[in-house]
Amino acid sequence: MDSDEKFNLDAFTKKLTYYINLLLPPCHLKPNQLDGGNSIIRIVAISCVLLIHLKTYLHQYIFDLFPINCCCSCCFWAVPAFICLSGKLIPIQIPYKLFYKKSFNKIFLPTVFWSILFSVITFFKSEHSIRAIIDNCIKSRPFFHLWFMFMLCGLYLLAPLCSIIIKKIPFRYLLPFLFLVMCKPVIWDSPPWYYPLLISIPYIFLFMTGSIMSHSHISPKIIFISCLTAFCYLLFMGIILPLYSNKITQYPFHHYLGFCGYLGGTSITLVFLWIGTFIPYNIKVILYKISQLVYGVYFIHPLIIILLIKSIKFKSLNCLSFFVIFIATWLICFMSTICCKKIPFLQRFL
């Protein structure tokens, strides 16, 4: 009986893996190139972004807001973590020509496509004039979430400069400039710092931090400090800050360029990279395949959320129903991205 059960379990696992492989994009990496930590960060971080944006859209329908605020407050590490991961790709050894070719196909081209698409939708679905839409593009916001892609495009353009700085200047000499950025992060939300390329400059330090992580030995001591920092970050952002938000108003703790954003993003990134070293190869493959859908999910998720809100007439939501909707939205976004990736024309834009 035990052997039959074991056989059935193995058969089920093989079937599950087979169907997952049919759905998900192929994995072209060699076993030694797979990084489970990278994949986990990308999947968890995009889930955090989805949670924050869903809460923003559904805010008026939620009456049990405090637990949701606590969860969403813990999620602001996600954007700094994404920038750190992007920084791991800074070309230290590979030719810049190859780097820019990959960046154009993976980042620049999709950003242009989705900016045009969202601009067209905005034009026909609102009272925005063409001039207002052009103005939004100049301000790196053809739609609210695309500012990140504009910022990322600028970072990739600045990657050769970042590479030179990393090679020539010890990071400790850059710390005073990093503290200046983090002391008053809201300054970087004002003109001219939201224009293309300029929007990327304050995020260079996070970008370079990711590159330094990828080329440095992560010792047990660093892992311990990272775990402690990540725990303190989640404790502060998830419990202390929501409880005393009326008294703690002087510093923008939720800003991606603030002290909390930098410490939370880098420490949680390091923790996940460490956890990734313990993941079995088969799981790494599946996680990698899911993580390949992350950019597509980021591009399309506002459309999914808007369609969901229009198709379901919300009256009031408690904590449980909100998280059920979040899980459903997560699944719909990922499945929609899988379907879109099956369409040849859309493959290069996701």
Residue 6 has pLDDT above 70, yes or no: no
Q: Is the pLDDT reported for residue 122 higher than 50? A: yes
CA atoms within 13 A on the CB side of 30: 2
Average pLDDT over residues 45-73: 89
pLDDT value of residue 3: 46
CA 328 to chain centre: 19
Mean pLDDT, residues 265-279 taken together: 92
Q: Tens digit of pLDDT for each residue in 245-255?
A: 777 777 888 89
Phi/psi-derived region of residue 34, left when phi > 0, alpha when psi is between -120 and 50, beta in every other case: beta
Q: Given pLDDT bands bounded at 50, 70 and 90, which one contains residue 7?
A: very low
pTM of the model: 0.89
Question: Which pLDDT value is given to residue 92?
Answer: 66
Q: How far apart are alpha carbons 300 and 336 in whole angstroms?
A: 8
Give the mean pLDDT of 18-29.
70
Residue 29: which pLDDT band, with cuts at 50, 70 and 90?
Answer: low
Q: What confidence tens digit (pLDDT) does each residue in 285-344 have?
A: 888 888 989 999 999 999 999 998 888 877 788 888 899 999 999 999 999 998 888 888
Mean pLDDT of 123-135: 80
94 pLDDT exceeds 90?
no
Q: What per-residue string of b and e applies to 92-112 under the rule 16 or more CB within 10 Å gives b?
A: eeeeeeebbeebeeebbebbe
> Confidence class of residue 127 from pLDDT cuts 50, 70 and 90?
low
Q: What is the mean pLDDT of the chain?
A: 85
Confirm if 213 and 269 have CB atoms less than 8 A apart. yes
pLDDT of residue 32: 67
Mean pLDDT computed over 46-70: 89
Examine the pLDDT at 5 and tell me if it is beyond 50.
no
